[in-house]
Amino acid sequence: MTKNFIDQNLFLDMIQDQVNILLNSKDPSIQSIIANAKFEKWLGNPENKKCYKGLLGYARLGFALQIKILQNIDNNYGCFMPEFYNFFKSPYFKDEVLNNNKIVFFYKNEHLDKIRDL
């Protein structure tokens, strides 16, 4: 089976583009989550494409896996939040991504509670 890879820097740029979209979201519920994360200091680093901590680390993981699914690429993106691995690798997640057919900030409230405590 042939693997389909793209340049890793391009892959990280694609993920970062989604982080920037998230940070500039006009959705009030997203704005509220981001404001809480900033205030409580669990946002993560918005500029560092390789920051895997906080809300943005969680978002980067979700974005990376959605990009892999939608673009059918095999680039590696380590799971730096192993407590969420089963969720992001589940058939449910893959089905939701394929049904949406676009990249979204896909999260569960109980995951946000865990991120806050990491």
Give domain status of residue 2, yes or no.
no
Predicted model pTM: 0.93
- Domain that residue 68 falls in: 8-117
Give domain status of residue 1, yes or no.
no
Give tens-digit pLDDT for 3-25.
899 999 999 999 999 999 999 99
* Number of structural domains found in the chain: 1
Convert the chain into a string of H (helix), E (strand) and C (coil): CCCCCCCHHHHHHHHHHHHHHHHCCCCHHHHHHHHHHHHCCCCCCCCCCCCCCHHHHHHHHHHHHHHHHHHCCCCCCCCCCHHHHHHHCCHHHHHHHHHHCCCCCCCCHHHHHHHHHC
Give domain status of residue 63, yes or no.
yes
Q: What integer pLDDT is reported at residue 2 of this predicted model?
A: 82
Give tens-digit pLDDT for 31-83.
999 999 999 999 999 999 988 899 999 999 999 999 999 999 999 887 778 88
Give domain status of residue 3, yes or no.
no
